A and B are shown apart, each in its own frame.
Chain A
């Protein structure tokens, strides 16, 4: 049974989706919607298939020199095993509000390469990295 969903109708891609914060059911931040993926079928029907998170799609969307710089930064972090931007199937989007809530926990996704690299090489090595300081 599909979970109860709340999505505006009509759903505006630029206004409701792009650049909105995405959070998981626990409230953990996934990132912001950097681009939206569509699928066009043979009849010309265009449907939303996924939300994309990543510096590369963001940089490409922004364009200009600054945009190129942002996507270049992401590109350099890519390793061979990294499949590219974080892709969240649109079916997993539960609520579209001032934040977009998805149904999958953040732990189910790969840690973004930049975060992983910084955590393993720098931040994670400093004593006290595991303690939250509320």
Chain B
């Protein structure tokens, strides 16, 4: 499976409610060194690269920061276990 198959897809919660689109995939290193998918960054609206403004380290110029914040408000991290990629109505 490839990242491109997951990114941009609509994510649903376990009850089938639409959460938004997957904007990023968060992984953590396990004891054996492999990186496991633990969570997804989900945005209700625009999916794009988010211009990188959601991280610390870049917050200027102010105008673009505000623009990015407006475009991408509501982005939040959701544990991968709580996410489904198909809604119950599709079954």
Contacts and interface: CB of A to CB of B under 8 A. Distances in A.
Q: Check whether chain A touches chain B (CB < 8 angstroms).
A: yes
Interface of A: 2, 5, 7, 9-15, 17-18, 35-40, 45-48, 52, 57, 60-61, 90-91
Interface in B15-37: 23-30, 33-37
B68 interface: no
B55 A15 contact: yes
B4 interface: yes
A15 B56 CA distance: 13
Given A11-B28, A14-B49, A47 B4 contact: no
Q: Is the interface of A mostly helix, strand, loop or mixed?
A: mixed
B26 A36 contact: no
A12 B49 CA distance: 12
Given A46-B80, A48-B27, A13 B33 contact: no
Contact of A61 (B4, B23, B29, B52): B4
A36 B2 contact: yes
Nearest to A40: B1
Nearest to A19: B49
A57 B67 CA distance: 31
Contact of B3 (A2, A5, A9, A14): A14
A18 B83 CA distance: 22
Contact of A90 (B2, B6, B35): B35
A15 B24 contact: yes
Contacts of A39: 1
B38 interface: yes
A3 to B, nearest CB: 11
B41 interface: yes
